[in-house]
């Protein structure tokens, strides 16, 4: 999936309050949930649907439902944990995996300290991390999920620096 920027007035409002240093921690958590819900909806906008006939209180009708599919959300620990709940709320059958990365303060290179993933082959995989800065952790997390069977994972971030976007695009076009 190419770079997609959520351009919505509500998203801009939420991100502004997230970035405000006077925002209280409880409000910050609520705002993180809200923007992550918008991002989860946006990231899944191209999912396949199929026709399904149902009975309404008045008559039968044909509606659209999601085609059978399987989802996995993979937060980059620990910051990505705050973005998981919206995915599990709208997709109750979603599986959750974890990739733990920490930056070496000397080399600035991320090293993996934890990886627990469900089967990824044939599933929609969403890697979530609130901040894409240099791109190092995101590049490494995407490589890990691909090595474990993900074919076309989607990276979902709340804020992204141009350098991070360029680094991800370089390694995972």
14-23 pLDDT, tens digit per residue, is: 999 999 999 9
The least confident of 7-16, 29-38, 107-116 is 107-116
Extract the tokens encoding 156: 């979902």
Does the pLDDT at position 108 exceed 80? no
Distance of CA 31 to the CA centre of its chain: 16
Average pLDDT over residues 116-128: 95
User: pLDDT tens digits for 66-104?
Assistant: 888 889 999 999 889 999 999 999 998 899 999 998 877
The least confident of 104-108, 109-113, 135-139 is 104-108
What per-residue confidence (pLDDT) applies to 1?
Answer: 57
What is the rounded CA–CA span in Å between residue 67 and residue 163?
Answer: 36
Contacts of 92-99 with C-beta under 8 Å, sequence gap 24+, read 95/70, 95/71, 95/123, 96/72, 97/72, 97/73, 97/145, 98/74, 99/74, 99/75, 99/127, 99/141, 99/144, 99/145
Average pLDDT over residues 9-16: 96
**CA–CA distances in Å: residue 28 to residues 33, 86, 87, 173:** 9, 15, 18, 32
Does the pLDDT at position 117 exceed 70? yes
User: pLDDT tens digits for 136-153?
Assistant: 899 999 999 999 999 999
Phi, psi of 4 (to 5 degrees): -135, 125
What per-residue confidence (pLDDT) applies to 102?
Answer: 83
Q: Are 153 and 146 in contact (CB under 8 A)?
A: yes
Q: Which residue has the tokens 């980059």?
A: 76
The least confident of 28-32, 66-70, 169-173 is 66-70
Mean pLDDT of the chain: 93
Extract the tokens encoding 92: 């109750």
What per-residue confidence (pLDDT) applies to 75?
Answer: 97
**CA–CA distances in Å: residue 158 to residues 77, 150, 155:** 15, 22, 10
What is the pTM assigned to this prediction? 0.89
């Amino acid at each position: 999936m190419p770079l997609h920027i959520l351009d919505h007035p509500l998203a801009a409002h939420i991100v502004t309050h997230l970035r405000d240093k006077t925002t209280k921690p409880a409000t910050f958590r609520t705002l993180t949930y809200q923007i992550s819900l918008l991002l989860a909806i946006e990231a899944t906008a191209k999912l396949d649907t199929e026709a399904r006939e149902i009975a309404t209180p008045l008559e039968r009708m044909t509606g659209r439902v999601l085609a059978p599919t399987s989802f996995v959300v993979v937060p980059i620990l620990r910051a990505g944990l705050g973005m998981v709940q919206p995915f599990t709320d709208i997709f109750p059958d979603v599986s959750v995996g974890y990739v733990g990365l920490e930056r070496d303060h000397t080399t600035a290179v991320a090293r993996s300290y934890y990886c627990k993933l469900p089967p990824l082959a044939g599933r929609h995989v969403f890697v979530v991390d609130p901040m894409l800065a240099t791109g190092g952790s995101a590049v490494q997390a995407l490589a890990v999920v691909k090595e474990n069977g993900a074919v076309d994972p989607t990276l979902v971030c709340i804020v992204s620096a141009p350098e991070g976007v360029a680094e991800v695009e370089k390694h995972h076009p």
